[in-house]
Amino acid sequence: MLEQSDSAAVQPHVFFRQATTPTQSTVVTYKSGGNGCVKITGNGYQQTFSRLPRRTPVDIQFENIGFTASLGFRKGRKKILHELNGRFAPRQLIAIMGPSGAGKSTLLDVLSGYRITGVTGSVILDGEERNMDAFRRLSCYITQDDRLQPLLTVRENMQIAADLKLQGDVSRREKNNIIEEILSTLRLSEHGNTRTGRLSGGQRKRLSIALELITNPLIFFLDEPTTGLDSSSCTQCVSLLRLLARQGRTIICTIHQPSASLFQMFDHVYVLSQGRCLYQGAAGQLVSYLAQLELPCPKYHNPADYVIELACGEYGQEKIDRMVEGTDNGRSETWFQLPEEVKDIRTAVEPMSGPKPSKKSSRHGLQETSSWNQLKALLRRGYIKTKRDQTLTHLRILVNIIVAIMLGILFLGEGNEGSRVLDNYNLLFACLIHNMMTPMMITILTFPSEMSVLQKEHFNRWYSLKSYYISITITDIPVMVLGSFLFTLLVYFISGQPSDMGRFNMFFVISLLIVYVAMSFGLMIGAVFDVVNGTFLGPAISVPVMMFAGFGVNLRDMPSYLKWGSHISYLRYGLEGYISAIYGYGREVLDCVEFYCHYRFPNTFLHDIAMTGDQFWNDVIALSVTLLLLRVVTYCLLRWKLHAMR
């Protein structure tokens, strides 16, 4: 009989200990131990789980779950799930099986709360209708693609997750203990200093699980956890999930077509076909169920393969209809079977207090820590990423230096030459285009991948969108300022612009504002569109922005019905600001090496391009307002996107 100590009932965290004593057994066995431990032997190691979850395991039932998906604009809608029913008992490893297109991932999304639009029916927890906020505090969702931070090491990922997911009263020492014991149990300790991008598929999957184990959720939802793994890694992954289920968690995962040995490791299977339930019950009872329906599994045939063949319709639609009727579309619990070791644990552990959000958590919304703690952790993560990012940091700074040198040499010494004012005008516009295109395109190309990470972490309550958005805004500042300063410094003095610190500062301020506005523009596009569409849309929208800047057609000659475009083109204010910095505010007479210099007097040039040269502060205000509007719109679009994805 298993006994649970008082200390285990108080602590919400999981501690693991792993012995290095090898064992030849591949069968998972369970033994009771002292001090509330469950000793589990299997897969070559002996592992001791020293503390159990303190909250009562959750019994999940769902009734008449339906889901209808939109096929696109004017293409109608399609019914994916057809009034499914079922029950997932606690302390079990549950597999949702079925062929491609059967609705496995959709059902998992609906049960986890990851998808809420187009859903009908109800999910019931312990006999009561599910409260989504309370449910999300008990559960976590691990996507099929491992959405991790590739530039952070395993241990850094764990430390950031601990800072975001554990309340502020947990000491750093306790956090480190939790991290080290989780890594030890999941066999990731030796890879603690390895960057996530260099891990194997199995290691990445285990790290995804480790990150969520920090808060010890009662319910795990995993979408295709064995996809892309070899047979050994699959066995290790499923063994780990089975061990976690024995601690009191409910582990629900989708799986496409497991091997016979892998299939036997699941306690409960739920088979889908065409959005309907063909079977739900113990994995070991599947053969008996099929035999009762006069669909006997052939000898020496993997039952998992056979039931998938039936679900695919290889033996006819009538067989599918018969199985749906046999299980009453998931209502029947005839074939349920609770393993003996689970029964032992269930009778030994007394019910504990149910899930009630603390007052501290309520003040923070769904997140465990305050907005300030979230911001600190995200800024730390952003600093590490910025320091190591070859594209967003190193390459961007290098490109600014190289382009500045090239432009400076191409327009060498033209800033004070009266006969080459038009060439210098071209240089200013070239600087403007560089400051617009480089940050915008880099952001469009990189943010969609960050968006997928944001979606997963935000859903799993790591942080609020507000904290995340503030953190990426602040993290970008040092690189933006450094890149803009180096570009301005080099191109300004190599091209021979006025040796006046005030004018240099004006030039730098305009450059910096254009970079920020362009990056915000790229962020807005990247938040809504994928890389392919964003790469097309960014330059396409930039063309009219350049057209209304007043470079090719000056503002005086622009048709009256198109003048509105110049007021919304941020490049117009950037070009006007550059002109004010270089030629405005009483610029002295320029040098002239030719017999006649038409633009020796800057006012003549300003008159011809229809600019007054004294609008610098108005341009700064206009660019600042544009920047603020883009940031606000981007935040709203991010919030809409996170909701629309569900």
Of 306, 372, 356, 492, which Cα lies nearest the Cα of 54?
356
Angle between helices 340-348 and 231-246 in degrees, nearest 10: 30
121 has pLDDT over 60: yes
24 has pLDDT over 60: no
446 and 412, same domain (yes or no): yes
362 has pLDDT over 50: no
318 and 178, same domain (yes or no): no
564 and 488, same domain (yes or no): yes
Of 169, 184, 217, which residue sits at a domain end? 217
Let me know if residue 357 belongs to a domain: no
pLDDT class of 420 with cuts at 50, 70, 90: confident
Query: What is the mean pLDDT of the segment spanning 545-549?
Result: 86
Query: What is the mean pLDDT of the segment spanning 149-161?
Result: 92
Looking at residue 340, its pLDDT comes to 54
CA–CA separation, 305 and 294 (whole Å): 17
Let me know if residue 45 belongs to a domain: yes
346 has pLDDT over 80: no
272 and 416, same domain (yes or no): no
Of 347, 376, 401, which residue sits at a domain end? 347
196 and 103, same domain (yes or no): no
Provide the number of structural domains found in the chain. Answer: 4
Of 37, 65, 63, which Cα lies nearest the Cα of 49?
37
33 has pLDDT over 60: no
Render pLDDT for 235-245 as a digit per residue (tens, 0 to 9).
Answer: 888 888 888 88
511 and 554, same domain (yes or no): yes
Q: Which residues span the domain enclosing 37?
A: 6-49
| Per-residue tokens: 447 | 């943010």
206 and 227, same domain (yes or no): no
Q: Are 275 and 281 in contact (CB under 8 A)?
A: no
Looking at residue 364, its pLDDT comes to 56
446 has pLDDT over 50: yes
Render pLDDT for 37-73 as a digit per residue (tens, 0 to 9).
Answer: 444 444 443 454 454 566 777 888 999 999 988 877 7
* Residue 572, C-beta contacts closer than 8 angstroms, at least 6 positions apart: 548, 549, 550, 555, 566
Of 498, 626, 609, 634, which Cα lies nearest the Cα of 554?
609
Let me know if residue 247 belongs to a domain: yes
Render pLDDT for 467-481 as a digit per residue (tens, 0 to 9).
Answer: 999 999 999 899 999
Please, what's the b/e burial string for 500-539 (b: 16 or more CB within 10 A of its CB; e: otherwise)? Answer: eeebbebbbbbbbbbbbbbbbbbbbbbbbbeeeebbeebe
CA–CA separation, 5 and 15 (whole Å): 14
Let me know if residue 380 belongs to a domain: no
Render pLDDT for 563-587 as a digit per residue (tens, 0 to 9).
Answer: 888 888 899 999 999 999 998 888 8
342 and 487, same domain (yes or no): no
Let me know if residue 574 belongs to a domain: yes
Of 217, 234, 267, which residue sits at a domain end? 217
80 and 18, same domain (yes or no): no
- The CB-based long-range contact list for 194-198 (8 Å cut-off, 24+ gap) reads 194/153, 194/154, 195/150, 195/151, 195/152, 195/153, 196/148, 196/149, 196/150, 196/151, 196/152, 196/153, 196/154, 196/157, 197/150, 197/151
Looking at residue 174, its pLDDT comes to 87
Render pLDDT for 64-104 as a digit per residue (tens, 0 to 9).
Answer: 999 988 877 777 888 899 999 999 988 889 999 988 888 88
Let me know if residue 443 belongs to a domain: yes
- CA terminus-to-terminus distance, the chain: 44
pLDDT class of 270 with cuts at 50, 70, 90: very high
Let me know if residue 363 belongs to a domain: no
CA–CA separation, 481 and 437 (whole Å): 16
**3-state secondary structure (DSSP) of residue 67:** strand
CA–CA separation, 76 and 239 (whole Å): 43
Q: Are 574 and 430 in contact (CB under 8 A)?
A: no
CA–CA separation, 468 and 604 (whole Å): 50
pLDDT class of 606 with cuts at 50, 70, 90: confident
Looking at residue 393, its pLDDT comes to 85
Render pLDDT for 195-218 as a digit per residue (tens, 0 to 9).
Answer: 998 988 888 888 988 898 888 888
Angle between helices 154-165 and 201-213 in degrees, nearest 10: 20
CA–CA separation, 534 and 443 (whole Å): 10
Let me know if residue 238 belongs to a domain: yes
231 and 156, same domain (yes or no): no
609 and 597, same domain (yes or no): yes
Structure-model confidence comparison of residues 306 and 28, the more confident one: 306
- The domain that holds 126 is classified in CATH as 3.40.50.300
12 has pLDDT over 60: no
129 and 248, same domain (yes or no): yes
